[in-house]
Amino acid sequence: MNKARNTPNGKQEKPKDIKYVLRRLWNYMCYFKGQLIICIILTILSNVFALIGPRLSGLAIDAIELGKGKVNFQLVFKYAILMVIFYVLSSVFSYILSLLMLKVSKKIIFKLRNDAFNRILSLPISYFDTNKTGDIISKMNYDIDTINTSLSTDLIQICTSVITVIGSLIMMIIISPILVCVFVITIPISLLFTRFMIKKTHKLFRKRSSTLGDLNAFSEEMITGMKTIKAYDREEIILDRFDKNNEIATQAAYQAEYYGSITGPGVNFVNNLSLSLICILGAILSVKTSFSLGKISSFVLYSRKFSGPINEVANIFTDLQSSLAAAERVFGLIDAHEELADKYDAKELEDVLGNVEFKKVFFGYEENKMILKDINFKADKGKIIAIVGPTGSGKTTIVNLLMRFYDINQGNIYVDNNDIRDLKRKSLRKAYAMVLQDTWLFEGTVFENLAYGKSDATMEDVINAAKASRIHSFITKLPNGYDTVLSEGGINISKGQKQLLTIARTMLLDSHMLILDEATSNVDTRTEIYIQEAMKELMKNKTCFIIAHRLSTIQNADLILVIKDGKIVEQGNHQELLEKKGFYSNLYNAQFD
């Protein structure tokens, strides 16, 4: 059952049911049932052997005849040697258990992180519009690492504690049912106190994870925009904003840790109280009955083993709560709604010609706020369609709809007379090649970056594309030519050079339609002329959609769509629109006044 769901504002409602989170974690653990069964067996053996020790200790004490000065050394040595053997076996099994559990937790976390990243790749663009990048990264890294810590250490501790508590209780009942009555008073107190603290601190740890995600998102945004911050001398202001976010995150962490730290000492006090009561009642039994000193000693040791794990669980309670809060956030990501599936009868877009048509298209990112209103135009194959208009008029939104990053609210969009909603998304998106204003290069060689969209590209293909985009000369001057490694995001080259590389990458694709979003915005005028010449060759026999702010670059477009306030207010070629002396004419003349 999918517990996480989207709210109207696109944010994720995280599951608040602890049982649900535990069940989800258990489902991941079940992928490795065989290894977990071995872990359980090792846990039982390790703790059973450890539980025999106190009983042997009591028998060794009873081998001493108090007041008579007699000691049965044969029995004492026998029980002492057996104790050593059992404790060694317990330690060996415990060590093997730790190693095996580390391997199991590694596999679980690998699958969990893999599932989270796979879900990220299948999420719609709208998810990334409404969720901060830094927060998503925080879920992938910090939150999953927090879960890993609990699986590899806390889980073993909890299992060990359960077995130790049950085993100790059985042994204490065997030794003296009367003394066990002490725990009838103290255990309910410990359980009620722990339950109260769980309810109080769970929401605090959820808040801690959330505020840390916000802090990471803020940090990621500021680091990305560091040049702008320095250019506008905003360091002090940004530092103040960081201090506020840091204070919120730190305070949330402090409150969670503060209340979480109360649990251990509280439970420890109750456990020590039970030990005091056992000593008093044991002394009375020793005087009034034949209850031996060895049995009292064994019972005290078992009572420590019985109450110790309860105290230890209370101490790891803080980490456990943190892990549950982290798991909530991770499962919130994994449970986020994927991009809507293609229709069951959706077909592949094959033998693309490049005819595109918008018919009475309405669209809004929010249902009650339309961005595009009654958009109608037709782009015939091989034609160049330019889209111009003021900032925020809806130009980029049209591109998003062409690629079906979003589905329209009303109307139809056709490609080669096929409604795009009847086509498989992958085949539709493969029909387009894109060059965006914001360039993207990954860490790798120049060759790998250029051949990114075409895995079978040869060096000759790459060089020809580089020459066509006027970047070959620059590449040959790099230390290792096409084998030069670009740093992350291509930060060791200029923006103009990055733009030329992305254009060369596009030239390698076999797409029949092109989308150019201010593709020459980051190059100088001379380079722009070279690019435009290269583009002429690239755009031959292809349907091209060009978003441009510099109207001088689109004078040769076959059709210019003038967008204003989400509507096409004018359309035609450059000369026709100038002769109308309308909105386009005003825009064009304004650039040269």
CB 263 within 8 A of CB 318: yes
DSSP string, 527-593: HHHHHHHHHHHHTTTSEEEEE-SSGGGGTT-SEEEEEETTEEEEEE-HHHHHHHTSHHHHHHHHTT-
Can you give 247-304 as a three-state secondary structure string?
HHHHHHHHHHHHHHHHHHHHHHHHHHHHHHHHHHHHHHHHHHCCCCHHHHHHHHHHHH
Does 506 reside within a domain?
Answer: yes
Does 398 reside within a domain?
Answer: no
Cα–Cα distance between 133 and 128 in angstroms, integer?
7
CB 336 within 8 A of CB 127: yes
Nearest to 435 by CA among 509, 371, 353: 509
Cα–Cα distance between 493 and 505 in angstroms, integer?
16
In 10 A of CB 552, how many CB atoms? Answer: 11
DSSP string, 69-113: TEE-HHHHHHHHHHHHHHHHHHHHHHHHHHHHHHHHHHHHHHHHH
Q: Are 462 and 325 part of one and the same domain?
A: no
Nearest to 419 by CA among 351, 359, 376: 359
Domain limit, last residue, from 487, 510, 533: 510
311-328 burial code (b ≥16 CB/10 A, e <16): bbbbbbbbbbbbbbbbbb
Domain limit, last residue, from 455, 477, 510: 510
Does 286 reside within a domain?
Answer: yes
**How many domains, the chain?**
2
Contacts of 10 (CB under 8 A, 6+ apart): 126, 127, 129, 130, 131
Query: Does residue 412 sit in helix, strand or coil?
Result: strand
Q: What is the CATH number of the domain that holds 277?
A: 1.20.1560.10
Please give the residue range of the domain that contains residue 182: 17-334
Would you state the pLDDT for residue 5? 33
Nearest to 332 by CA among 86, 54, 135, 555: 135
Residue 334, token pair as written in the block: 């994994």
Cα–Cα distance between 513 and 432 in angstroms, integer?
5
Cα–Cα distance between 31 and 24 in angstroms, integer?
12
Would you state the pLDDT for residue 376? 92
Q: Are 329 and 453 part of one and the same domain?
A: no
Q: Are 468 and 321 part of one and the same domain?
A: no
Q: What is the pLDDT along the chain (593 residues), one digit of tens a residue?
A: 333 333 333 333 333 567 788 888 888 888 888 888 888 888 888 888 888 877 777 777 776 655 455 666 777 788 788 888 888 998 898 888 888 888 888 888 888 888 888 888 888 887 887 787 778 888 888 888 888 877 777 777 777 777 877 887 788 788 777 777 777 777 777 777 777 777 777 777 777 777 877 887 777 777 767 766 766 667 788 888 888 888 888 888 887 777 777 776 777 677 667 767 777 776 677 666 666 677 777 777 777 777 667 666 666 766 677 788 888 888 888 888 888 888 888 898 888 888 999 999 999 888 788 889 999 999 988 888 989 888 788 888 888 899 888 888 899 999 999 999 999 988 888 888 887 776 777 778 888 888 887 778 889 888 888 887 778 888 888 888 888 888 765 556 777 778 788 888 888 887 888 888 776 655 666 666 666 666 776 777 788 898 877 776 788 888 999 998 889 898 888 888 888 888 888 887 876 65
Does 519 reside within a domain?
Answer: no
Q: Are 145 and 279 part of one and the same domain?
A: yes
Strands 384-388 and 559-564: parallel
* Helix 182-224, helix 293-315: angle, nearest 10: 30
Does 248 reside within a domain?
Answer: yes
Would you state the pLDDT for residue 187? 72
Does 490 reside within a domain?
Answer: yes
Does 370 reside within a domain?
Answer: no
Residue 289, token pair as written in the block: 């009955």
Strands 543-547 and 513-517: parallel
Domain limit, last residue, from 491, 510, 529: 510
Query: Does residue 476 sit in helix, strand or coil?
Result: helix
Does 491 reside within a domain?
Answer: yes
Cα–Cα distance between 325 and 318 in angstroms, integer?
11
566: amino acid identity, one letter: G
Nearest to 439 by CA among 396, 493, 402, 388: 493
Would you state the pLDDT for residue 2? 37
Q: Are 316 and 463 part of one and the same domain?
A: no
> What is the enclosing helix (H) or strand (E) of 191?
helix 182-224
